[in-house]
Amino acid sequence: DGGITQSPKYLFRKEGQNVTLSCEQNLNHDAMYWYRQDPGQGLRLIYYSQIVNDFQKGDIAEGYSVSREKKESFPLTVTSAQKNPTAFYLCASSMDSSGNTIYFGEGSWLTVV
């Protein structure tokens, strides 16, 4: 089935650890995105990539890093520099940037313990 797969769905992180969230899409989409959602709030853009080997910071990039080595993959690393990482993380993709629908994965819950 075509879609966006995020893993893991639930992740617990100890203070000072880096963790990586996986995002894979088989929709042949050029653009991919990472959003963060805090309880009861809207989504905020962390990073986005319009093409392989290129990515741009979003509104809240501090403490996060990404890579885009393959078209179908856009992993997000939450570093120890992110002071409040507990949140719901959503990966998304779209065919390009010309108004096509942006589709979301099922999300990953990250909790700092």
Partner 1 sequence: ELKVEQNPLFLSMQEGKNYTIYCNYSTTSDRLYWYRQDPGKSLESLFVLLSNGAVKQEGRLMASLDTKARLSTLHITAAVHDLSATYFCAGGDYKLSFGAGTTVTVRA
How many residues make contact with partner 1 (CB under 8 A)?
26
Comparing CB distances to partner 1, the nearer of 16 and 40 is: 40
* 66 makes contact with partner 1 (CB under 8 A): no
In order of 29, 39, 41, 50, 98, the CA distances from 75 in angstroms are 15, 23, 23, 14, 23
Subset of residues 4 to 63 that bind partner 1, contact rule: CB under 8 A: 31, 33, 35, 40-45, 48, 50, 58-59
Beta strands (DSSP E) in the chain are 4-7, 10-13, 19-25, 31-37, 43-51, 54-57, 64-66, 76-78, 87-94, 103-104, 108-112
Comparing CB distances to partner 1, the nearer of 36 and 85 is: 36
Task: List residues binding partner 1 (CB under 8 A).
Answer: 31, 33, 35, 40-45, 48, 50, 58-59, 90, 94, 96-97, 99-107
